[in-house]
Structure 1
């Protein structure tokens, strides 16, 4: 994964990062590239600058400093040599590249009617490294299961940014699409899964083909706005389970409600500290008022990413799950009682 990310970077930046010790490359979450400022790597609430020889350092003065030319070369690569064809992505402030890695952009905002039309003079990049963790949702799925309908409950996965929501969501889609057994709950009939992948991060599709394993019975709408994509899925692709990342706009909530009323199980994510935090968001409040979600999964706001802090039902009651080695979500476990990690 690390080497695949380095392939996108210009030569001088790539050369420095290629020599970074594995203790950093194995757990890196972000690479921060800023014009004329220290090259930085971020991992699990820790960070280091990188000197020209690839040595980690906290001394900003000793760090390698990408040049303006480095930044222009990186922008040229991630826009496929045509900035103008990527105007929509620039307006949103990020570009998703093959492998599902999202590159956030910083520069001068060009406005039109008081709204961002595009970004210019881009001199800052945040390369967010996407990772596939197969099996991390295997022990979570039984907690989401509705025995009465033989389908998962409508589920919302909640956490602050960069805490593992998308990784968990991706594996839940794969697990439901593949079928199988887990935790004594039978869901062996593989389900038809539809993924609306607005940011190309869940499936990381290239030319319409997912590069992450999202399951054998999964259809993906790539780079499609969530609200439109959910309605298209309902009309044309008849999913049993609809998977979508980062609900946030009123139209997203409306489309999710349409899916709920159409008898389709919705599994989604949203940014927030906890359920009450998300409930206060005006765009998502109608979903909570309608008690649309039968399960709320809360990821821990600190510590290793992907740690499931708690799972609650639609009435707010906390559910428990096994924490024996190899039974929790993924192979690793938090020391906090009742918490597991992917």
Structure 2
């Protein structure tokens, strides 16, 4: 079922969503449920509120307002009726479910030792819909290869949230693992890819089995912290290319450095609008100053769609694409 994520929602909310046109339903990126406040949906970079009859409006006073029963039912469904088994997710403020969909949570924090122990009185949900877009990397992949077209360069993809980083990363992993097309003598061979999927969003694994097509030569460490997972991959799974999403901590940088020194290509993402912003971050500044990455892919989203810029290790612009890439998929 293409829109099986609808089953996450309480019956009343699900019925409203199912009244949306199919074209719009398949483009939905976020659904925000806030108890006692207007029900909101985001798609293609736009937002609307949802009325009780399934109509869209820009006026919040016209929208359906989820009640306490809706909140409790939604929390019950996304936790598979076992909220107590998700204490770690509640501490982090999000739950990732099979299919790579991530639900951000808002409510009252319970503190312990100066840190967040878990969330209670959860009344806000941001359901982020993950979608597979094969071909999203077509226009970018050639610029990440060396002159011989055989070696992938160490690459960092950056953008603000909701600009397509994970969607692009997933398709790059698939294409690198599968190999290039063309005549046998000139065909780029598939490589061993290792994905450290801390939030279960890249592969969307369920019981260790990826829900998305990530290529025939790809291994996944699901739900594993990035730094620890990268070191595990290096020691035991011998990847040619190591993939990780949203790096930024000092321990992530140490693991990336270890991989580069081991001769493994690193393909990662980070939050940011420009490379210059990352230099000031303790976890990433050293990697950039030492020019560890050979390519930077910067994604930008506007009403006309997604575009990208590609820079080399010297921050020199290689290409700018105003064209839309990867459709309206969200990551």
TM-score scaled to structure 2, two decimals?
0.93
Aligned partners of 1:306, 1:281: CA distance in 2, in Å? 26
Give the whole-Å Cα distance in 1 for the aligned partners of 2:148 and 2:112. 51
Corresponding residue of 1:245:
245
Structure 1 runs of 4+ with >4 Å offset = none
Cα distance, 1:316 vs structure 2: 1.4
Residues 254-289 of structure 1 deviation map (CA, whole Å, 9 limit, x = unaligned)? 101100100000000000011111222121001012
Distance 1:162 1:305 in 2: 12
Question: In the alignment, what sits opposite 2:325?
Answer: 341
Conserved 8 A contact 1:93-1:105? yes
Alpha-carbon distance between aligned partners in 1 of 2:118 and 2:25, rounded to the nearest angstrom: 32
Greater relative CO (CA pairs within 8 A, separation 6+): 2
Deviations 1:275-304 (A, max 9, x none): 111222121001012110000001014345
**Cα offset for 1:2?**
6.3
Question: CA–CA distance in 1 between the matches of 2:99 and 2:306?
Answer: 19
| Alignment match, 1:175 | 175
The aligned residue for residue 312 of structure 1 is 311
Any residues of structure 2 matched to 1:80-229 within 5 Å, and which? 80-147=80-147, 150-181=150-181, 188-229=188-229
What is the distance in 1 between the residues matched to 2:100 and 2:317? 33
How far is 1:157 from its partner?
0.2
Aligned to 2:22: 22
- How many residues of Structure 1 are paired with residues of Structure 2 in the alignment? 324
Q: How far, CA to CA, are the matches of 1:187 and 1:251 in structure 2?
A: 37
SS at match of 2:266: strand
Change (3 A) 1:232 1:217: same
- Structure 2 CA distance for aligned equivalents of residues 137 and 194 of structure 1: 18
Aligned-pair Cα RMSD in Å: 1.9
Cα offsets for 1:172-213 (capped at 9, x unmatched): 00000000148xxx5621100000000000000001000000
Deviations 1:194-249, CA, capped at 9 Å, x for gaps: 00000000000001000000000000000000000000000010000000000011
User: Is 1:264 the counterpart of 2:264 in the alignment?
Assistant: yes
- Report what 1:324 is aligned to: none
- 8 A contact 1:36–1:66 mirrored in 2: yes
Q: Whole-Å Cα distance in 1 between the matches of residues 301 and 253 of structure 2?
A: 24
Q: Alpha-carbon deviation of 1:142?
A: 1.6
Please report how far the alpha carbon of residue 70 of structure 1 lies from its aligned counterpart in structure 2 after TM superposition: 1.1
Per-residue deviation at 1:146? 2.2
The DSSP-based 3-state class of the residue aligned with 1:300 is strand
1:87/1:63 CA distance change after superposition, 3 Å: same
Q: Which runs of 5+ in 2 are unaligned?
A: 327-331
Instruction: Report if the CA contact (8 A) 1:150-1:187 is conserved.
Output: no
CA contact (8 A) 2:150 2:188 kept: no
Summarize the Cα distance change of 1:76–1:229 in structure 2 as closer, same or farther, 3 Å threshold. same
Write the distance in 1 (CA, Å) between the matches of 2:260 and 2:130.
29
* 1:106 CA displacement: 0.4
C-alpha distance in 2, partners of 1:30/1:126? 7
TM score, norm. by length of structure 1: 0.90
Relative distance call for 1:150 and 1:188 in structure 2 (3 A) is: closer
